[in-house]
Structure 1
């Protein structure tokens, strides 16, 4: 399989005819303006997980546990950490990342409800992203778009029950451009050839996820941006890194974003129906015990009533999505 054949395969899997149209699809996925191709060079991994607060794991309510588990294993290369008749936990390098709870009678959560927009899985390196791209191309995995976001290079797809997924690699944070407290992010055509040039496209050597694969950020559908910021920024203590009328991006330690919030399809959404499928909970990890204690006090003062869970506490956002802050 040549590089050119792989690029055509990826475009076909994304249901588009050109890199520009694939970037436009990714722009719809991230709500960022499109522009020409970027020229910034490769990544230095690890920044997303080195900040005072970082993404941990997610919990999903699923109708078809076996099918969903097989998808995350075969497409992302996650390994089974624990399993029962009612649920499974998958991860990479022995670290739990995705827990699924079987809800076989549940209705699917509509895409105009508050909830999960996508879970973004961060590859340790650009070469790992290249190896994964060959993997999905050779396995004919449907994609929904791919793009260069200036700070990162990203590919989008949906799992069998409609939960959005992003797989991406960060660029070296020293190459990110900041304008004051705002990081410059855009949506450009992805340099597929440049990425694939880092690996052997004639074979699939992505047998399992790299041990350093982690969730880099969470992107949520919400009903109101200002109300969502009152929880994720003011109560949780994340910093704003970019904001528009219909989207907000927040992070810890000047990462480009650990949490994104949008109202593109969900403006005015009410409380989620927790009997339906979709995101049940997600966690943010806090390395400093003193910070974790301070965060609990901060949430209590903001009126969000944290309750104790293993290694930390949890509260619910204004639409019923559970957020856990846990020590590591």
Structure 2
């Protein structure tokens, strides 16, 4: 059973994430049309431009980089049958923020691809102009999450209370709040057992939920910082280079967690690249993960 950290009364999902040994830092995407994709994430998702170079734009919230866009106009468009990104999930601080974003999306004609109450969270889904999946969500209070005796959390797809969420909005949408972050990254993989061996066995995440053709992985009592599914990609092979879409997921990790991953990689004879203080590893389908120390 995964370790369930003790919590003070009033602790919420943000506190659970803040105390977890892993947090998602930034997601890097390769873009064929850098300007158009950057405008989308600013205008629709509400990210702010943090920095820009000739071929790279960094976007974020509260001065923190959450999304890196790299320009490659010659990149082959990634297809949904391949391993890669299912969605980047942006976690908003409160239910009213999600309500404000929904009104903003409606005003600007943003097309949603789905919406659900997952019991642990309330979420809506859409795609960016280059086909990268996006989730915008808000967590329910963590004391409302139901954990089974085997240590997994109960998650389902229920009807979203859109009216109630919109009614919770107290101000117009004015961009991603400073407390917004990437709560989790959901990946497309080729095979679930291999995904579990890598993400649980090597990186040290706990399996927090098993769903038909999907596995959810969390650390520190959070419902999931990562997930993998084979809904579109069963049997997917190692990704070729030179495609659009996901290039890298950055994971912030506590020092002890980084040391444990380093040891398991070396003991298992796996190739481990150290880039300064960061560890670079690739999952069985070539998706690169950059493990860095938890920011102070």
TM over 0.5: yes
1:303, distance to aligned residue in structure 2 (A): 3.4
1:284, distance to aligned residue in structure 2 (A): 1.1
Establish whether residue 197 from structure 1 lines up as the match of residue 167 from structure 2. Answer: yes
Residue number in structure 2 paired with 1:185: 155
CA distance in 2 between counterparts of 1:304 and 1:105 reads 32
Provide structure 2 residue ranges, at least 5 long, that are not aligned to the other structure. 1-10
1:44, distance to aligned residue in structure 2 (A): 3.6
**Structure with greater helix share of residues:** 1
Question: Paired residue for 2:126, among 152, 157, 168?
Answer: 157
Change in 2 beyond 3 A, CA 1:89/1:296 = same
Residue number in structure 2 paired with 1:114: 83
Residue number in structure 1 paired with 2:174: 207
The 5 Å alignment of 1:56-205 reads 56-180=25-149, 181-199=151-169, 205=172
Equivalent residue of 1:179, what SS?
coil
1:245, distance to aligned residue in structure 2 (A): 5.4
Question: Paired residue for 2:196, among 219, 229, 237?
Answer: 229
CA distance in 2 between counterparts of 1:45 and 1:205 reads 24
- Contact 2:95 2:169 (8 Å CA) reproduced: no
Establish whether residue 253 from structure 1 lines up as the match of residue 220 from structure 2. Answer: yes
Establish whether residue 241 from structure 1 lines up as the match of residue 208 from structure 2. Answer: yes
How many residues end up aligned between the 2 structures? 282
Query: Under a length normalisation based on structure 1, what TM-score does the superposition of the two structures give?
Result: 0.83
CA distance in 1 between counterparts of 2:129 and 2:280 reads 28
- Contact 2:98 2:169 (8 Å CA) reproduced: no
Residue number in structure 2 paired with 1:299: 265
CA distance in 1 between counterparts of 2:211 and 2:112 reads 27
Residue number in structure 1 paired with 2:7: none
1:101, distance to aligned residue in structure 2 (A): 0.6
Query: Under a length normalisation based on structure 2, what TM-score does the superposition of the two structures give?
Result: 0.92
CA distance in 2 between counterparts of 1:172 and 1:131 reads 19
1:150-200 alpha-carbon deviations (Å, 9 max, x no partner)? 000000000000000000000011110011211000011111111111125
CA distance in 2 between counterparts of 1:316 and 1:173 reads 31
Residue number in structure 2 paired with 1:318: 284
Establish whether residue 277 from structure 1 lines up as the match of residue 244 from structure 2. Answer: yes
- Contact 2:25 2:250 (8 Å CA) reproduced: yes
1:45, distance to aligned residue in structure 2 (A): 4.1
CA distance in 1 between counterparts of 2:26 and 2:89 reads 11
Residue number in structure 1 paired with 2:232: 265
Residue number in structure 2 paired with 1:36: none
Alpha-carbon RMSD across the aligned residues, in angstroms, is 1.4
1:180-227 alpha-carbon deviations (Å, 9 max, x no partner)? 211000011111111111125xxx721221001100011000011111
1:306, distance to aligned residue in structure 2 (A): 1.9
CA distance in 2 between counterparts of 1:146 and 1:128 reads 16
Change in 2 beyond 3 A, CA 1:303/1:116 = farther
Provide structure 1 residue ranges, at least 5 long, that are not aligned to the other structure. 1-42
Residue number in structure 2 paired with 1:28: none
CA distance in 2 between counterparts of 1:44 and 1:301 reads 37
